[in-house]
Amino acid sequence: MSGINKGVDWHKLARSRAFWLGAALAVLITVFCVNSIRSMGGEMFSYLVVDFFSTGIFMATPLILTSIGAVFSERSGVVNIGLEGMMLIGAFFGVMVSHFTGSAWLGVLGGMIAGGLAAALHAYVCISHHANQTVSGVAINVFALALTGFLLKAVFHRAGQTDRVTKLANWIMPDFFRNIPIIGDVLGSNTPPVYIALILVVLAQLVLFRTPLGLRIRACGEHPEAADTVGINVTGTRYFCVILSGVLAGLSGVTLSLGQLSLFKEGMTDGRGYIAIAAMIFGKWTPLGAFLASLFFGLATGFKFISQSWNMTSIPTDFLLMLPYILTMLALAGFVGRLTPPAASGLPYRRRGSV
């Protein structure tokens, strides 16, 4: 089972062409930033740094949650292209449950369950019936877009977006944490999914690489026949990981509809599910790597929102809107041919003697 214990090879990453391309782009952005704020005092500079990272982490949270779910799914051997649709379903059902119950937390639970059920459908089709995993995922994305549009009209009797509902309130960290320079300012007050995502990164990394459960998951994704031989339930493990990815995608969708906004808009995921998959690949199928890649994309997304307050009139607005997607394509173009996915990822597993 070679490759099961591999993490991110940071030395190889530093030597890669995409790494230096990204570094050059980061330097370019930094030059624009410095040029725009060079006349400001130190206090204003600190404020802008805090604003930049606060917005970046806030925008990265849905990507972090979804990419961690994608890591578990692919590490077990199942490609889940349907994460975009599962996010959209989670976002809608979170708002719908919050609308009828008046509780944002029940909405969070409803969104997670809805995402998990969509993932269970994907798992049933791909694991039990050995269907093409990419086709199934694309079908779920199309289905989710149609389903949420239909239910929006059926339940809320309107098109485009729902009425505003109860959203998640910010959590305020204790004073000793908020008094930490920069970190306290960035993370001192935020929506609950932000803290949940940061905790999940640590837990997921420990579970995958420091526990027997993580070893079983990685074995199913690298060599399912060998895993089956030593008594690991490959089918059950893959079901668990795919459904977990759907639950996290549902939570990610709720983060958009009840954390960042207080309503559901048609197509509000806006390709974030695909960017999360790119972050997983960029992060070499590890939770920590996926987190760093998601943060990278989140900072790029947040940059377009805060650039107006930074008075960066020299940067075209269209470029700022395209920036997250440009970075996604650059990352994939530089890394896809250099990174090796789990050996059995995307391949259906049939036990010997089964039809």
Residues 124-170: tens digit of each pLDDT: 999 999 999 999 999 999 999 999 999 999 999 888 888 889 889 88
Task: List, in sequence order, every residue forming a beta bridge with 172; answer none if it has no partner.
Answer: 189
Query: Alpha-carbon distance 89 to 147, whole Å?
Result: 8
Label residue 179 by pLDDT band (50, 70, 90): confident
pLDDT at 319: 67
Query: Alpha-carbon distance 85 to 148, whole Å?
Result: 10
pLDDT at 15: 47
> Which of 93-97, 252-256, 290-294 shows the lowest mean pLDDT across its residues?
290-294
In angstroms, how far apart are the furthest CA atoms of the chain?
74
Other beta carbons less than 10 A from residue 252's beta carbon: 33
Other beta carbons less than 10 A from residue 256's beta carbon: 25
Radius of gyration, alpha carbons of the chain:
21
> Which of 223-227, 314-318, 343-347 shows the lowest mean pLDDT across its residues?
314-318
Other beta carbons less than 10 A from residue 235's beta carbon: 16
Position 321 pLDDT exceeds 90: no
Please check whether residue 217 is in contact with residue 241, taking contact to mean a CB–CB distance below 8 angstroms: yes
Residue 214 covered by a domain: yes
Residue 295 covered by a domain: no
Two tokens, residue 346: 């995307």
Residue 32 covered by a domain: no
**How many domains, in total, are found in the chain?**
1
pLDDT at 14: 47
pLDDT tens-digit readout, 324-354: 677 667 766 665 556 788 888 888 888 765 5
Query: Alpha-carbon distance 75 to 219, whole Å?
Result: 8
Label residue 10 by pLDDT band (50, 70, 90): very low
Residue 13 covered by a domain: no
What average pLDDT does this structure show over 210-219?
95
What average pLDDT does this structure show over 308-319?
60
Element (H, E) at 49: helix 42-76
pLDDT tens-digit readout, 289-299: 999 889 888 88
Query: Alpha-carbon distance 206 to 179, whole Å?
Result: 29
Per-position b or e across 102-130, b if 16+ CB within 10 A of its CB = eebbebbbbbbbbbbbbbebbbebbbeee
Higher pLDDT, 321 or 60: 60
- The CA–CA distances, whole Å, from 123 to 155, 205, 284 equal 28, 23, 23
Label residue 3 by pLDDT band (50, 70, 90): very low
Domain with 65, as residue range(s), is 60-161+175-274
First and final C-alpha spacing in the chain: 26
Two tokens, residue 74: 């692919």
Query: Alpha-carbon distance 273 to 67, whole Å?
Result: 8
What average pLDDT does this structure show over 277-285?
89
pTM, two decimals, is 0.84
Half-sphere exposure of 2 (CA within 13 A, CB side): 1
Residue 31 covered by a domain: no
Residue 241 covered by a domain: yes
What average pLDDT does this structure show over 252-272?
92
Residues 6+ apart with CB under 8 A from 351: 228, 234
Query: Alpha-carbon distance 254 to 87, whole Å?
Result: 8
Residue 301 covered by a domain: no
Label residue 1 by pLDDT band (50, 70, 90): very low
Report the mean per-residue pLDDT for the chain. Answer: 83
> Which of 55-64, 80-89, 345-354 shows the lowest mean pLDDT across its residues?
345-354
pLDDT tens-digit readout, 20-53: 555 555 555 555 555 555 544 455 556 666 777 8
Helix/strand/coil for 171: strand
Higher pLDDT, 53 or 314: 53
The single-letter DSSP state of residue 174 is: P
Query: Alpha-carbon distance 32 to 38, whole Å?
Result: 10
Residue 235 covered by a domain: yes
